[in-house]
Amino acid sequence: MFAPDFSTFDQVMKVAKTLADFESARKSLGDKTVGFVPTMGALHEGHASLIRRAVAECDAVVVSDFVNPTQFNNKTDFETYPRILDQDCAFVEAIGAAVLFAPRVEDIYPAGTDYDQRIFDLGGLDQYGEGPRRPGHFNGMAQVVTRLFDIVRPDRAYFGEKDFQQLAIIEYFVKNLHYPIEIVRCPIARAEDGLALSSRNKLLTPAQRAAAPHIYACIRQTANMVGKMPVAEAVRKTTELIDAEPQLRTEYVEIINSLNLRPVSSWDEAEHLRLTCAVYAGEVRLIDNIALK
């Protein structure tokens, strides 16, 4: 696990908790190439991998730390989402970010504005996978991402492929809305035992954490099923493999066209296929995905 080392950087990171503070910090960056890593905090090595890449590729990096209420369709999930801002500040500064932006809800969605009411064209990419299972989630995500883009005004923004559907939707509306921002795809960061890194992992009990790597172990086996049985059979077998672990309960397994996110019914239906899944460990919902071809 990444351990902060403050001796590495002479630069003192600015922490902006209001729009006014951020505008001052942003102005100080001048005409530098700005990389942006939006997060909901509770930072971990997965976030660190995004920030490190941004630091390597940009003159200055802004990291946001904001738990967005409009993308939670489950109130309990929003209320229990980990919030550890002081630790996040230390974590981000050690990696070399220039600014941590930790706004208040009223900064992102000021009274008298319609930022939290905007409805976005998501190109139908929200009709599959997570979309039907988390109503309003992707529109809420688009609300906060566009708002942050407008405030931060980055040249590049970095997103991990763990949230594969989210990333595809962001790429779509960035192009559709003509944002002059390069979206940089970054591979899934995993623990040594294969578990996809997620802030929600902090909510797992020791027994659930020990069982959770079983998800990745099972979906890796799906790659060996490609072309050897019908897609529906591969989905069924993968679901059974995951559910064989008593601590886990599969919500869905889908094999999708990587470009339009639609579930496929045959292996030759698309050139690029991906398996996506959501699995519960107790009440903690974990998502993962893997390229099949």
Low-confidence ranges of the chain (pLDDT < 50): 1-10
The predicted pLDDT at position 76 comes to 81
Alpha-carbon distance values, 176 to 37, 154, 190 (Å): 21, 17, 32
Tell me whether residue 214 is one of the annotated catalytic residues: no
With beta carbons less than 8 A apart as the criterion, state whether 151 and 144 touch.
Answer: no
- Residues facing 101 on adjacent strands: 16, 64
Q: For CA atoms 78, 81, 83, 88, give the dihedral sign.
A: negative
With beta carbons less than 8 A apart as the criterion, state whether 155 and 23 touch.
Answer: no
Burial annotation 230-243 (CB, 10 A radius, 16+ → b, else e): ebeebbebbbebbe
The predicted pLDDT at position 138 comes to 97
The predicted pLDDT at position 79 comes to 83
The predicted pLDDT at position 78 comes to 83
- Residues facing 99 on adjacent strands: 14, 62
The predicted pLDDT at position 96 comes to 96
Distance CA 256, CA 86 (A): 39
- Three-state SS string over the chain comes to CCCCCHHHCCCCCEEECCHHHHHHHHHHCCCCCEEEEEECCCCCHHHHHHHHHHHHHCCEEEEEECCCHHHCCCHHHHHHCCCCHHHHHHHHHHHCCCEEECCCHHHHCCCCCCCCCCCCCCCCCCCCCHHHHCCCHHHHHHHHHHHHHHHHCCCEEEEEHHHHHHHHHHHHHHHHCCCCCEEEEECCCECCCCCECCHHHHHCCHHHHHHCCHHHHHHHHHHHHCCCCCHHHHHHHHHHHHHCCCCEEEEEEEEEECCCCCECCCHHHCCCEEEEEEEEECCEEEEEEEECC
User: Which entry of 47, 137, 178, 272 is annotated as an active-site residue?
Assistant: 47
The predicted pLDDT at position 11 comes to 63
The model's pTM: 0.92
For residue range 167-210, what is the model confidence (pLDDT) as tens digits? Answer: 999 999 999 999 999 999 999 999 999 999 998 998 999 999 99
Q: Which residues contact 164 (CB under 8 A, 6 or more apart)?
A: 274, 276, 289
| Cα–Cα–Cα angle for 65, 71, 77, rounded to 5 degrees | 85
